[in-house]
């Protein structure tokens, strides 16, 4: 498709009026490539803003961002490639980026380059230029480079490389208009905007020509599919990904092509090529960059002297984590509670009235309110915490502290086969496993990511706490603290244990490398943070929301059918509970009530308590309240939101402890649970009670965490493994507690 011919047609049609107006709406596809930490995301956010769509690259867990918009009368489709340092065949990100560039052939590449780190960034530029696709360089973070006293000869880069270079600052939003103009101009004139063929030295060039010639003669099909010079260079490097894809190997390379190169430069052609490309990047940098002679200690170095200090490093890290944890969960909890109350209150009333208004039978009222509306509630209550988590994780990443956190914690985490960055998702797990699983996206390597997600469910989340509290209140009131701690510690010890087992079985082999840049500290822009948080939160709502809703409705069916059962024992849930009783027997709680509660607890583990309450304590005691009027409900929505906001702020400033994890039960709830505790004492022995809470700690992740795991990894594999090992572990540990305890004479 030729843009210029179309323009001509346009001109001839409208020539009479003498206006040259490009009415052609060809979509210009732009791939944005650049190093991690080059400010690429911020730049894209600044250009595309809310038009960004976040998804995943097909089949992998790497995030894909895309946007479509119009600029200067053109439709522009922007595709953000994963941040990479190179286009090697070894990491997921790099393979995605190069596959896209080679096979989708975008109209042009916008190469985002960090002006403060020119040489390493140009190394990628040189590789991008091998593809023969027009390149526009966004020389980003230009303001910072200027502030440092760097002087960059922009014309020099343009002339040497034959590409358009536009200085930009994504955070200050400067150069964005110019960049868009440069993009459109380049897209309009692709023929004379193809980057200059850079000479890699006589030895490499001769060899490349020979290889390209041989491929062209022997495999014309491949020559048409791949950029010739690029394919030749990759074959010379022995690029395994290209070799697999093309089926070409050593025998397709003319022997004499590499012979001279190897003799002159060494056996390892891959190393020779890296050297050649870096020499070009270094040479160009020397030519165009003028740095002040005297270098003062930079802010980043000063901060790191404290933050990574041998003695202060860990305390500072722990303090930072404590603040993040507190902000994530305490800030969001009042809003989650508010959403929960609104769904359970006003929305249910309104929905019920509506169904009754259309004369729906009783069971439809229940299906709509207890099934669908409650299901929607199950999704919505997670919104505040997911948004809060995404916000803080994005902040940690954008500011540069995430890399430091990994640096400080890597030694400890590596011991159980994890990566330094695994610490944060694991920690979030104590609040709620769901955001914790989403937080694993901060890990780049698929192996690190999967292993971290597998261990997160062993971190005792906030929803398990109400179960512990009721049982501890009933059976161990005098040793409450010790018993509670034993559960948290058990989870951590088992995570270490399982980590070591997984490392030696499922994930045998070389641990992924750690090699990681410690980027300069930068203040992420609020706009960028908000857009990022919003995009990811929206993704959760749409993707996970549907599944969670479906499962909630399914559980409603289990709980309420056959419709009108008097005794819970006769509902489907009760029947499943009865069937599970023999399996739970050796654990000391082989009763249908326990089994049914555990199954209901899959929605969220705290529901175990609610279900037990419903089963054990007579329903008649429930007070029938007068249904509030519509306007009362409406007032309630508003006033309680204000209350939630106040509570959110109060949580952050007033308390030193973490409110979302606290053993203290408010007196209302304690009084409410008193009858249940009495019944429990007649149904469980203390030993069986402890075995039960151990089981609650360890058994399969709740539905929402499961959905998170399946959705985040795009496969059922890891969830399947988590499910299986946790069930075995839960049963085994509870049996060990109960049977071991009996042997020790702790009572049956």
Partner 1 sequence: MNLAKLKSGETGKITAIGAIGPLKRRLMDMGILIGEVIRVVKVAPLGDPIEVKIKNYSLSLRKKEAEGIAVEVMG
Task: Examine residue 311 and tell whether it contacts partner 1 (CB under 8 A).
Answer: yes
Alpha helices, DSSP H, located in 189-298: 202-218, 220-225, 228-237, 240-246, 255-265, 269-288
> Closest distance between partner 1 and the C-beta of residue 59, in Å?
21
Nearest Cα to Cα of residue 656 among 367, 319, 363: 319
Q: Which residue's CB is nearer to partner 1, number 414 or number 522? A: 414
* Span of 73-81, 88-96, 321-329, 475-483 interacting with partner 1 by CB under 8 A: 88-96
Task: Examine residue 117 and tell whether it contacts partner 1 (CB under 8 A).
Answer: yes
* Span of 68-76, 163-171, 481-489, 517-525 interacting with partner 1 by CB under 8 A: 517-525
Q: Which residue's CB is nearer to partner 1, number 123 or number 692? A: 123
Q: Find the length of the chain.
A: 748
> Closest distance between partner 1 and the C-beta of residue 280, in Å?
13
Task: Examine residue 500 and tell whether it contacts partner 1 (CB under 8 A).
Answer: no
Strand order in the sheet with 53-56: 53-56, 63-71, 74-80, 27-34, 108-114, 135-140, 164-167
Q: How far apart are the first and last CA of the chain?
A: 81
Judged by DSSP in three states, 197 sits in coil
Facing residues of 733 across strands?
A: none
Q: Which residue's CB is nearer to partner 1, number 223 or number 408? A: 408
Q: Is the peptide bond before 623 cis (omega within 30 degrees of 0)?
A: no
Which residue from 23, 264, 299, 314 is in contact with partner 1, where contact means CB under 8 A?
314
Task: Examine residue 274 and tell whether it contacts partner 1 (CB under 8 A).
Answer: yes
Window 386-415: residues binding partner 1 (CB under 8 A): 403, 406-408, 410-412, 414
Which residue from 488, 497, 514, 641 is in contact with partner 1, where contact means CB under 8 A?
514
Task: Examine residue 313 and tell whether it contacts partner 1 (CB under 8 A).
Answer: yes
Alpha helices, DSSP H, located in 289-400: 299-307, 313-342, 348-357, 362-366, 374-380, 383-399
Cβ atoms of 96 and 69 within 8 Å: the answer is: no
> Closest distance between partner 1 and the C-beta of residue 85, in Å?
5
Task: Give the β-pairing of 108-114 and 27-34.
Answer: parallel
Task: Examine residue 88 and tell whether it contacts partner 1 (CB under 8 A).
Answer: yes
Task: Give the β-pairing of 135-140 and 108-114.
Answer: parallel
State the Cα–Cα distance between residues 524 and 42, nearest whole angstrom: 8
* Span of 175-183, 274-282, 686-694, 712-720 interacting with partner 1 by CB under 8 A: 274-282
Task: Give the β-pairing of 135-140 and 164-167.
Answer: parallel
Facing residues of 33 across strands?
A: 111
Task: Examine residue 581 and tell whether it contacts partner 1 (CB under 8 A).
Answer: no
Q: Which residue's CB is nearer to partner 1, number 314 or number 323? A: 314
> Closest distance between partner 1 and the C-beta of residue 117, in Å?
5
> Closest distance between partner 1 and the C-beta of residue 270, in Å?
6
Task: Examine residue 423 and tell whether it contacts partner 1 (CB under 8 A).
Answer: no
Q: Which two tokens stand for residue 355?
A: 């169904």
Which residue from 26, 219, 278, 686 is in contact with partner 1, where contact means CB under 8 A?
278
Q: Which residue's CB is nearer to partner 1, number 116 or number 571? A: 116
Contacts of 401 (CB under 8 A, 6+ apart): 307, 320, 521
Contacts of 305 (CB under 8 A, 6+ apart): none
Nearest Cα to Cα of residue 85 among 140, 41, 35, 135: 35
Question: DSSP class of residue 60?
Answer: S
Q: Give, for 452, the enclosing helix (H) or strand (E).
A: helix 446-455
Task: Examine residue 90 and tell whether it contacts partner 1 (CB under 8 A).
Answer: yes
Task: Examine residue 319 and tell whether it contacts partner 1 (CB under 8 A).
Answer: no
With contacts defined by CB under 8 A, how many residues of the chain interact with partner 1? 38
> Closest distance between partner 1 and the C-beta of residue 600, in Å?
43
Task: Examine residue 271 and tell whether it contacts partner 1 (CB under 8 A).
Answer: yes
Which residue from 3, 57, 123, 226 is in contact with partner 1, where contact means CB under 8 A?
123
Task: Examine residue 270 and tell whether it contacts partner 1 (CB under 8 A).
Answer: yes
Task: Examine residue 515 and tell whether it contacts partner 1 (CB under 8 A).
Answer: yes
* Span of 85-93, 164-172, 619-627, 723-731 interacting with partner 1 by CB under 8 A: 85-93
State the Cα–Cα distance between residues 464 and 341, nearest whole angstrom: 20
Task: Give the β-pairing of 53-56 and 74-80.
Answer: unpaired
Which residue from 4, 189, 309, 655 is in contact with partner 1, where contact means CB under 8 A?
309
The count of C-alpha atoms lying within 13 angstroms of the C-alpha of 599, restricted to the half-sphere facing its C-beta, is 23
Binding site for partner 1 (CB under 8 A): 85-86, 88, 90-91, 117, 119-120, 123, 270-271, 274-275, 278, 300, 304, 308-311, 313-314, 403, 406-408, 410-412, 414, 420, 513-519
């Amino acid at each position: 498709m030729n843009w210029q011919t179309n323009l001509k047609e346009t001109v001839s049609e409208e020539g009479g009026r003498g206006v040259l107006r490009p009415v052609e709406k060809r979509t210009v596809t732009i791939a944005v490539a650049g190093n991690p930490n080059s400010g690429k995301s911020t730049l894209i956010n600044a250009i595309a803003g809310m038009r960004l769509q976040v998804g995943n690259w097909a089949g992998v867990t790497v995030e894909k961002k895309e946007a479509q918009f119009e600029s200067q009368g053109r439709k522009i489709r922007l595709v953000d490639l994963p941040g990479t340092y190179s286009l090697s065949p070894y990491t997921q990100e790099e393979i995605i980026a190069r596959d896209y560039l080679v096979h989708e052939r975008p109209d042009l590449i916008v190469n985002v380059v960090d002006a403060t780190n020119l040489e390493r960034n140009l190394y990628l530029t040189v590789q991008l230029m091998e593809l023969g696709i027009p390149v526009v360089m966004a020389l980003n973070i230009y303001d910072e480079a200027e502030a440092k006293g760097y002087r960059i000869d922009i014309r020099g880069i343009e002339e040497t490389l034959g590409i358009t270079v536009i200085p930009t600052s994504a955070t200050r939003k400067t150069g964005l208009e110019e960049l868009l103009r440069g993009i459109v101009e380049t897209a309009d004139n692709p023929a004379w905007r193809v980057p200059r063929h850079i000479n890699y030295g006589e030895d490499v060039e001769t060899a490349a020509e020979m290889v390209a010639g041989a491929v062209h003669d022997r495999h014309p099909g491949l020559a048409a599919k791949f950029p010739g010079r690029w394919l030749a260079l990759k074959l010379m490097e022995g690029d395994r990904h290209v070799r697999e894809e093309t089926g070409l190997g050593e025998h397709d390379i003319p022997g004499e092509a590499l012979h001279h190169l190897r003799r002159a430069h060494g056996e390892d052609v891959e190393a020779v090529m890296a050297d050649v490309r870096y020499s070009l990047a270094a040479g160009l940098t020397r030519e165009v960059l003028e740095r002040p002679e005297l270098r003062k200690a930079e802010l980043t170095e000063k901060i790191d002297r404290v933050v990574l200090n041998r003695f202060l490093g860990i305390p500072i890290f722990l303090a930072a984590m404590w603040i993040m944890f507190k902000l994530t969960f305490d800030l969001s909890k009042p809003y989650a509670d508010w959403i929960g109350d609104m769904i359970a209150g006003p929305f249910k009333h309104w929905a019920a009235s509506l169904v009754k208004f259309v004369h729906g039978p009783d069971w439809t009222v229940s299906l709509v309110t207890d099934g669908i509306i409650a299901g929607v509630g199950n999704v919505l209550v997670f919104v505040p915490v997911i948004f809060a988590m995404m916000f803080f994780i994005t902040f940690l990443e954008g500011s540069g502290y995430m890399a430091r956190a990994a640096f400080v914690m890597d030694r400890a985490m590596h011991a159980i086969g994890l990566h330094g960055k695994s610490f944060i998702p694991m920690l979030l797990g104590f609040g709620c496993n769901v955001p914790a699983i989403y937080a694993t996206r901060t890990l780049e390597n698929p192996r690190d990511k999967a292993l971290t997600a597998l261990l997160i469910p062993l971190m005792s989340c906030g929803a398990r706490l109400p179960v512990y509290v009721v049982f501890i209140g009933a059976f161990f009131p005098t040793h409450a603290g010790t018993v509670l701690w034993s559960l948290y510690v058990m989870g951590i010890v088992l995570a270490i244990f399982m980590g070591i087992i997984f490392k030696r079985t499922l994930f045998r082999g070389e641990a992924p490398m750690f090699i990681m840049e410690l980027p300069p500290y930068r203040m992420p822009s609020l706009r960028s943070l908000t857009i990022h948080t919003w995009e990811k939160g929206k993704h959760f709502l749409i993707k996970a929301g549907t599944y969670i809703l479906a499962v909630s409705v399914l559980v409603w069916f289990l709980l309420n059918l056959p419709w009108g059962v008097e005794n819970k024992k006769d509902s489907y849930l009760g029947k499943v509970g009865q069937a599970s009783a023999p399996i739970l027997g050796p654990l000391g709680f082989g009763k249908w009530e326990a089994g049914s509660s555990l199954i209901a607890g899959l929605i969220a583990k705290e529901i175990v308590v609610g279900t037990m309450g419903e089963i054990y304590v007579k329903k008649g005691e429930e007070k029938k309240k007068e249904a509030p009027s519509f306007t009362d409900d409406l007032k309630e929505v508003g006033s309680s939101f204000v209350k939630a906001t106040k509570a959110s702020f109060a949580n952050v400033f007033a308390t030193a402890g973490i409110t979302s994890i606290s053993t203290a039960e408010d007196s209302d709830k304690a009084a409410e649970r008193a009858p249940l505790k009495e019944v429990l004492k007649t149904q469980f022995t203390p030993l069986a009670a402890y075995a039960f809470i151990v089981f609650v700690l360890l058994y399969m992740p709740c539905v929402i965490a499961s959905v998170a795991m399946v959705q985040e990894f795009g496969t059922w594999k890891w969830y399947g493994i988590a499910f299986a090992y946790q069930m075995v572990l839960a049963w085994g540990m509870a049996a060990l507690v109960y049977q071991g305890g009996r042997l020790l004479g702790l009572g049956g």
